[in-house]
A and B are shown apart, each in its own frame.
Chain A
Amino acid sequence: MDAYQRYGPMLLRKAQRLLQSHEDARDVVQSLFVDLLERGGDESDLPYLYRAVTNRCLNMIRDRKKRAQLLERNDPALRGPVRVSSEARAVDMDLLLKLGAELDAESCELVVYRFVDDMPLEEIERLTGITRKTINKRLERVRSAIARLSAVPAGEP
């Protein structure tokens, strides 16, 4: 079995959960593996693949030009059960788009791991190499941003 067959489904589900769009998720996963294979990268390094999919999805979320497309194709059912929320609010696509416009790339990545992938801090630390202390600090800022953004009605910038 090749790495794409083995890990592709997992990565596709992850991209679907994050982008809440079948088409956009397929584009992300397919382009990641194409890039890796063309450049001789290691397509069997699962932690690397997981982070790469996360960041590619975030690139789309943070891209203002893609915003309308993401909202148009949004299927909330793809998000799956929500088990971890922040400030009593699930991190949905509306909130992700707002956070993407406001936070730096690394903080956005942490948002995904904590509030979309439901990872506890020690797992995030193992995956990213970022210390728990730094993760905590960044998530405190994220929580403040979420509290503030939650005061803005959904769909408004």
Chain B
Amino acid sequence: MSELSCTSVPISWWRLERYRLAELPHDEHDEIEQHLAGCEVCRACLARVDRPVELPELPVRSRPMAAAKPGVARQRARLRWSGAAAALGAAAAAVLLLLPHSGGPGLELPGRRIAFKGGELAIDLVRERAGSIARDATQFRAGDRWKVLLTCPPPLQPHVDVVVFQGREAFFPLAPAQLASCGNLLALPGAFALDGHDDVLVCATVSERAPVDRAALAARGRAALPAQSVCLPLAPAER
């Protein structure tokens, strides 16, 4: 192992790799180029990035990457959210509002899947816990990471939003998105964490014409969920 000195702040391996993949904003790309021009050790690291590697074969086929629709930020924000207070990630817009009413007696909650536009609208959740993935999880714990998978009938290109209800509060843990095309089990951009000791309802709501009205949802709670919404309940692992 060699120990060399960088001329200033080293360009991390994370950024070097994304630089090579051309996945950095222009200003970061230029900054890195400038640094590399004068730093031998970071150039040595980049040379390692450029070495070919042999990927092991997968027994299952990886899907082609979906192109992000212009204007849909490929946001990979991770938000830590608690029942008492919300911590907002730097890259995502999220709103925390206290609801005067989160639903009254007899309020029927949307199910996990509904018939929609000749097909089906459905929500699935993927939980990652300490590197282990579960798709049928029904409980959450602090530190778990959740992804939302949405199924909707092509060729719709709906606006999608995710709202999480817990107690009298509603959170929007992911940035609103517009899908380039509907399909099966599409992973919505971003992931989130859950906290607190109350049951949670994770809902995905879609709209063909305009982004979902967050203000209405935040003001009226579950009662304001549009008809084209699907929800999954989760319980805390420890109460």
> Within 8 Å of chain B (Cβ to Cβ): is A35?
yes
Q: Are A120 and B9 in contact (CB under 8 A)?
A: yes
- What's the dominant secondary structure at chain A's contact region? helix
Residues of chain A with a CB closer than 8 A to B2's CB: 81-82
> Within 8 Å of chain B (Cβ to Cβ): is A156?
no
| B76-106, CB < 8 A from A | 76-80, 87, 89-91
Name the contact of B12 in the complex, choosing from A1, A52, A90, A119 (C-beta under 8 A).
Answer: A119
Tally of A interface residues using CB under 8 Å: 64
Residues of chain B with a CB closer than 8 A to A77's CB: 1
Q: Which residue of B lies closest to A37 (CB)?
A: B60
Q: Are A123 and B15 in contact (CB under 8 A)?
A: yes
Q: Are A81 and B62 in contact (CB under 8 A)?
A: no
Q: Are B1 and A79 in contact (CB under 8 A)?
A: yes
Residues of chain B with a CB closer than 8 A to A38's CB: 60
> Within 8 Å of chain B (Cβ to Cβ): is A13?
yes
Instruction: Tell which of B42-50, B207-215, B231-239 binds the partner.
Output: B42-50
Q: Which residue of A lies closest to B192 (CB)?
A: A129
Cα separation A105 to B161 with both chains bound (whole Å): 32
Residues of B within 8 A of A (CB): 1-6, 9-15, 17-18, 21, 23, 41-42, 44-45, 48-49, 52-53, 55-56, 58-66, 76-80, 87, 89-91, 124, 126, 128, 130-131, 133-135, 143, 145, 147, 149, 185, 187, 189, 191, 193
Given known contacts A2-B61, A38-B60, A82-B1, what 4 new A-B pairs fall within 8 Å (CB)? A1-B65, A83-B5, A119-B13, A129-B193
